[in-house]
Amino acid sequence: MKRPNLHFLSILLAVVFLLSGTGAWLTLLLSSAAGIPSSFYFYLAVSFLSGATALILALTVRNEVIVYRERKDENRQTDEQQRHDHTASLNSKLITESVRKARTTADAAQQFLQSVAGQLQAGAGAFYRVHRDNGTRTAVLEAGYAIPVSEKNRIAYEAGEGLVGQLIVTGKTVYLDELPEGYIKIISGLGSASPRYVFICPVLKDNEVVGAVELASFTPLTPAQRKQVEEACQIVAEKM
């Protein structure tokens, strides 16, 4: 059964309210001094009923519109999240193939980072390899995604220094969802922008931190995506 158009019905009742109200006013105006005619009460009753009903229907339509908009917004957010999760999930086979083809450790780190950052649509990425020198552990930038890697100006963090250095000590992942302005800038031909999220994951081999992967993104990484990165790190760990 087709549902009636409540908006049209409320407008019709509003018109009836105005006409019956006008009729009641004219009846009272034209009545004689002998008394108020019964038609006045009829118009008054119709005016009251139609006005009250029109008001109720108008409020009902407004509530339905609000609920509809809320559901539409919720559905859009759900669709966007599902679409992002689907398109930005990691394919471990592609990562394994890219790392397997690498001939050197540095090449394996670069291929791994390119595959992971590209699949997750990250804005930038870095791969650090942990070096030991006289008992001191240092994480040295070995590969970059959308960031320059230079032998002259190597980026390095000693154990306990900065977020990467802290990860070397604790071996625990780091996820920040409110980066300070200027923490990192991603530069392209269209300009530069600062990402809002960063995820740093350890590369473990025999329960020892041998590297670290840092990903910067303009969109949040879901718990499932962060878990996928942790699992993917085990692929490149075999090359370390």
Is pTM beyond 0.75? Reply is no
Output the 3-class SS for 120-132: CCCCEEEEEEEEE
Find the CATH number of the domain harbouring 219: 3.30.450.40
Provide the token pair at 99.
Answer: 């790392």
Note down the domain range covering 181: 92-237
Specify if 1 maps to a domain: no
- Final residue belonging to a domain, choices 38, 72, 87: 87
| pLDDT tens digits, 96-122 | 999 998 989 999 999 999 999 999 999
Residue for token pair 């960063």: 198
Do 52 and 12 share a domain, yes or no? yes
Q: Whose CA is closest to 95, among 117, 128, 122?
A: 117
pLDDT tier for residue 19 given thresholds of 50, 70 and 90: confident
Regarding whether 148 and 42 lie in a shared domain, the answer is: no
Q: Look at residue 39 and tell me whether its pLDDT is greater than 50.
A: yes
pLDDT in tens, 145-182: 988 777 777 889 999 999 999 999 999 999 998 876 66
79 plus 44 within the same structural domain: yes
Domain stops at, among 87, 110, 134: 87
> Taking a C-beta distance cutoff of 8 angstroms, is the pair 104, 140 a contact?
no
Q: Which amino acid is at 213?
A: V
**Domains identified in the chain, total number:** 2
117, 215 contact by CB (below 8 A):
yes
Are 49 and 166 in the same domain? Answer: no
Distances (CA, A) of 14 to 44, 59, 60, 61, 196: 14, 13, 15, 14, 52
Query: Do 143 and 230 lie in a common domain?
Result: yes
Q: Does 137 map to a domain?
A: yes
Q: Which of 232, 231, 203 is nearest to 127 (CA)?
A: 203
